Chains A and B, each alone.
Chain A
């Protein structure tokens, strides 16, 4: 059997580790890149390194940012007593696009997922509790995890954890397509889900 030259094999393997990319697609991308001008490929590789070098997680809300704390956490115009909890930075962006939410966020960087071995300690849960403890006078925590079973489990878990702290805990309404992702919900649906949130008891 013929082998690819080492640099080609290395790139194919690296690409394959990306989510949603199988061996076939990784090969296709590699040979596509080989055909592009060197300039363009250099730009891509620099962009990859720059993300890692310049982008960090906000140490308050765990959104991705080029400055810590992030723009939202620094914005005095945003209501610090309202915290919207989402799974991923994408979900935060989806929520921002609705233009309805004027509070702050907390990004968990995942959801409870026993099949992937992801438990509470793998999420930014301790950090959320610390934020509430810090006495910022949080009035409401809105749980905006995805409407699939993992997101629902995460919301139920957090509700149980937060309620004893005397903070109001709400869950966004179920108008979202069940099993879908926040990220793909359209802006109107998402605004309605936010507006129709209910207190979890």
Chain B
């Protein structure tokens, strides 16, 4: 036929079915391969995550106590108890404080550190230093800070240098225990958000920043109008990680509040542990877990929505 191409009518006469069939076959093959690859992970997630979660939800509607068998269906009784349990309200409020604190403090601190360290001379050493606490087990960090806050501990000793003898029990007073533990928690966890933000900062192209400088922007304006928006995806990830960490904080509280009588009021996670393993009220503890899980799920969903919006904004 020489060098000529097909005319439109010739193209139209081709069997449409057969034109698409190659793609369909290809897609089918891909789907099968994909399923095979995903199978082990799927099996793992189902048996160790989805199944326990489902069981947990089921338990929360029963009257199960540890040594009394599953008991009968209790309907919403456990959830009604949540509303009337004074410890639940206190724990929920404290968890709220945790979430807000771990949203604001690590993110702000990590952002400040990241901006300061980005391109600074001793930034590698400083980065390592700030990341170091992260490699400790949370319980170990908790023990260290337990002694910092002890009545004869480092903090009181330090304060005594300035204001005369201090012997406060930071971990024994309602008003100071949560802030004190949060400080320890932030000290240990700020490293990861900082490293993530540093990576994000390093990935921001130089060009738009230089363009903004020439466009007349002061360093503050460059940061506000160019750097920060371009860093938004990373900030979002960091915020979500921090918020979820705040909701699920447990180890630090558990270790540092070991001698505090009202510790089950310190967070929902501690209350849940207390109800399950000290009070043996497993069904009630399951209900707390369901509430906590629901909130975490909602936060994750919110993150997905925001992430998409940010992506669209930067696209």
Whether A and B are associated in the same complex: the answer reads no
